[in-house]
Amino acid sequence: MTDTTGFVDKVRDHSAVIGIYGLGYVGLPLAICFVQAGFRVIGFDIDDSKIRALESGKSYLPHIDISPLQGADGRFQATTDFSRTSGADALIICVPTPLDAHRNPDLSFVTGTMDSIAPWLRPGQLVALESTTYPGTTEEELKPRIEARGLKVGSDVYLVYSPEREDPGNPHFTTRNIPKVCGGMTEACLEAGVVLYGQVIESVVPVSSVGTAEMTKLLENIQRAVNIGLVNEMKIVADQMGIDIHEVIEAAATKPFGFVPYYPGPGLGGHCIPIDPFYLTWKSHEFGGNTRFIELAGEINSSMPEWVVHKISAALNEQNKSVKDSRILILGIAYKRDVGDMRESPAAKIMELLRRRGAILAYSDPHVAAFPKMREYDFELHSVPVDADTLPDYDCVVVVTDHMAFNYDLILEHASSIVDTRGVYRTPHPKVLKA
């Protein structure tokens, strides 16, 4: 078995330097954890605006407090200079893995980062990939790039896959207390990875291979996607029968065994659940496999914005109005409650569908001051106030993201009509149409 003593000793005495590649929703909290544990951290990102923000003490992610980085006595530095990779001992890759225009995996951020790192690799380093991806990525994409530099994985360089697990805005689960799955290319790799993450994560869960770790992450999110797809389909059936699906879920959840409640919504959002299932679907084709459950759930969840628009049209019809030229206020455009994260938000798709139909759009979101530039959507809009004076100006108010900051009683009192995609209004009301 390969001797990992040198790397492990540096980690255990906290003399190891940690390099984190990608200072976003995953990389930035991880950097904070390592700094708080006493390590020196170099944060790498290709976005110079992030580097400037961190240097000036400003967080570009509102829900992340970066004050521990400012009070770290110089133990944290952020840079766009990848040549500094040679000065780091652990190299942790936390970059996006989106889908391309054909809903195939886009690994360009992962491979591009690895290509930028590779010239500066040296013996004694550990490379860890945290980005969600299909089984085989670590072995097929990272390992050859490392060994092309003349370094042997498992002896010269340790290689692990340890999938990120983040829930932005959840105060109960943080990077530190969410158990960390870790798989290594060899036993020595696994040992080095477990020791590294064990310095900052309360519980590290070793698995037998990187493929197992890669599949674990996909299963976690695919399970949610399939169950959300199921309850979204049930919502449509219940609506056709005049039954409140939220009441059904609450009643079913009283069963003390065998039932886990999932809730319907306007579609899937975030960086994992709308994307991860397609990574496995794509990879399974290589083995001649079928992923019918996954693909069906994807179809159902992807169709939810159209269902919401159908309900908006129905609400306007009750006022003898059409979508065209109607003033529609979208409440909440972030993908989940009480965060400002717009990644894959179904609100953007709903707004685009309404715009194509000629609606006059506005939105209010206390966490998103201006509609951000997105790959598929571009709205020159800013968040507007929601109050007794402005609400009557809109023909329809659509609850897309149920932020706690909204005064739902005031909205009910002053809105002309409401389409509720989140089950905010449980008591039937003539103004409210549930979607």
Catalytically annotated residues = 272
| Residue position matching structure tokens 């959002």 | 269
Both structure tokens of 54 = 């961190």
Q: CA-to-CA distance for 60 and 208, rounded, in angstroms?
A: 37
Q: What DSSP assignment string belongs to 119-168?
A: GG--TT-EEEE-S---TTHIIIIIHHHHHTTT--BTTTBEEEE------T
Q: CA-to-CA distance for 255 and 221, rounded, in angstroms?
A: 24
Q: Residue 166 in contact with residue 26, Cβ under 8 Å?
A: yes
Q: CA-to-CA distance for 16 and 370, rounded, in angstroms?
A: 41
Q: Residue 204 in contact with residue 179, Cβ under 8 Å?
A: yes
375: left (phi over 0), alpha (psi -120 to 50) or beta: alpha
The closest alpha carbon to 35, from 84, 11, 68, belongs to 68
Q: CA-to-CA distance for 232 and 304, rounded, in angstroms?
A: 8
Both structure tokens of 421 = 């995609």
The alpha carbon of 275 is separated from its chain's Cα centroid by a whole number of angstroms, namely 9
Q: Residue 315 in contact with residue 417, Cβ under 8 Å?
A: yes
| Residue position matching structure tokens 């590290």 | 204
Q: Residue 110 in contact with residue 134, Cβ under 8 Å?
A: no
Q: Residue 30 in contact with residue 94, Cβ under 8 Å?
A: yes
Q: What is the CA radius of gyration of the chain?
A: 24
- Collect all residues with Cβ–Cβ distance below 8 Å to 386 and sequence separation of at least 6: 329, 331, 364, 406, 407, 410, 411
Q: CA-to-CA distance for 161 and 110, rounded, in angstroms?
A: 12
- Report residue 253: phi and psi, to 5°: -70, -10
By DSSP bridging, strand 396-399 and strand 418-420 are parallel
